[in-house]
Amino acid sequence: MNLLGIAGSLRKDSLNKKLLACAAAMAREMGREMRIADLSDVPLYNGDVEAAGLPPGVAAFREELKWADAIVIATPEYNNSFPGVLKNAIDWGSSRGNCWDGKVLALMGATPGNFGTVMAQAQLRNIFNILNAFIVPFPFVYVPRAHEAFNADGSLNNAMAAENMKNLLGRLFQVTEALKQRP
């Protein structure tokens, strides 16, 4: 199974990059390696640019999406939604050939605020319906107060979030394997 991780933040010290690294470490303990996508070279979507030829960062990102069977997305929350960086990447991945089609997705998110990216994740679920991606419905991985949620080794000190992450990854792998075995 090919497992890809995407963080919806470009920030070097992003809490969501930390969350994704934590998920990658947990996946490794469960016997799966996660490749991390890089959105830093994905420019703003422009149909004229696309028509002239895909920018290298976009072409590379689309190849990673095509390669993946299962995708983990760690999203920040901006103004009760998910950030433009992530929407932009989703749009590039869907235009002129939907690379999200049939992928199995697990969502998670971290914020210094108190509500753990509830709104951002709800909106992502809505968007992936039109892209025909399968989102693991439950459990939710919300990490509120994320600036104080990580131990020095990168693991989560939020026991509920850690437990939910483990269960979510387990379901992600289970559903992905089941779909892959279908004729």
Ligand X SMILES: Cc1cc2nc3c(=O)[nH]c(=O)nc-3n(C[C@H](O)[C@H](O)[C@H](O)COP(=O)(O)O)c2cc1C
Residues that bind ligand X (CB under 6 A): 9, 11, 14-16, 76-80, 111-113, 115
Whose Cβ is closer to ligand X: residue 75's or residue 176's?
A: 75
Whose Cβ is closer to ligand X: residue 79's or residue 126's?
A: 79
Whose Cβ is closer to ligand X: residue 85's or residue 168's?
A: 85
**CB-based closest residue to ligand X:** 113
Q: What's the min distance (Å) between Cβ of 136 and ligand X? A: 21
Asked whether the beta carbons of 69 and 104 are under 8 A apart, the reply is yes
Q: What's the min distance (Å) between Cβ of 23 and ligand X? A: 13
62-71: b or e for each residue (b if 16 or more CB lie within 10 Å)?
Answer: bebbeebbbb
Q: What's the min distance (Å) between Cβ of 114 and ligand X? A: 7
Separation between Cα atoms, residue 22 and residue 1, nearest integer Å: 19
Separation between Cα atoms, residue 83 and residue 120, nearest integer Å: 8
